[in-house]
Amino acid sequence: MNAAYAGTGIIAALALMFGLWLYYHKNMAKVQILLFWLAGIGIGGLVGVLINRAFDVASNATSLATRLLGFGGAIILAGLAVLLTVEVVVKGMLPKTAKPNRAHPWLALVAPTIGLASGVPFLAGLYNLIATGMGNAGAVAQQWFVG
């Protein structure tokens, strides 16, 4: 197993654990959303790739109806990815404009998965960049604690 993947998983698990603890105690709403978002980025890589492959299979099918369904699904998924990311970042985390509610952490957990699956270049690049940073930080932490 690659150390960066293990590091991303470690950071995602810790972020989800602390985020759930804050969510349960109803403390620090913006930090909850950030932690759920980081956990979603760590988890979303694997799940997003699986969803993306499912759409590739549907869009490469032989019948015209299946191709149209795959193409339409991909467009809907891309629009949903952009909408969820904007909702989470602008309405949930930005300091002056944010008015987070109890659903924002869960949207933040799902948004990276949909963003990676959608194939929107900006979102996929953003989430991959953050995941790489998480992986490197987790690998360093793993070296500190495990040796």
Give me the pLDDT at residue 11, please: 83
Per the structure, how many domains does the chain have?
1
pLDDT in tens, the chain (147 residues): 455 556 777 788 888 999 999 999 998 888 898 899 888 888 876 666 666 667 666 666 555 455 555 666 667 777 777 787 777 777 777 767 667 788 888 888 888 877 777 767 777 788 778 888 887 887 777 777 776
User: Does residue 61 sit within a domain?
Assistant: no
Residue 55 counted as domain residue: no
Cβ-count burial of 147 within 10 angstroms (0-12 exposed, 13-18 middle, 19+ buried)? exposed
Establish if 63 belongs to a structural domain: no
24 lies in a domain? yes
Q: Which domain holds residue 90?
A: 3-49+75-145
Provide the pLDDT for residue 70. Answer: 60
For residue 23, tell me if it sits in a domain: yes
pLDDT attached to residue 60? 63
- The answer to whether position 130 is within a domain reads yes
Residue 99 lies in a domain: yes
pTM: 0.73
- 59 within some domain: no
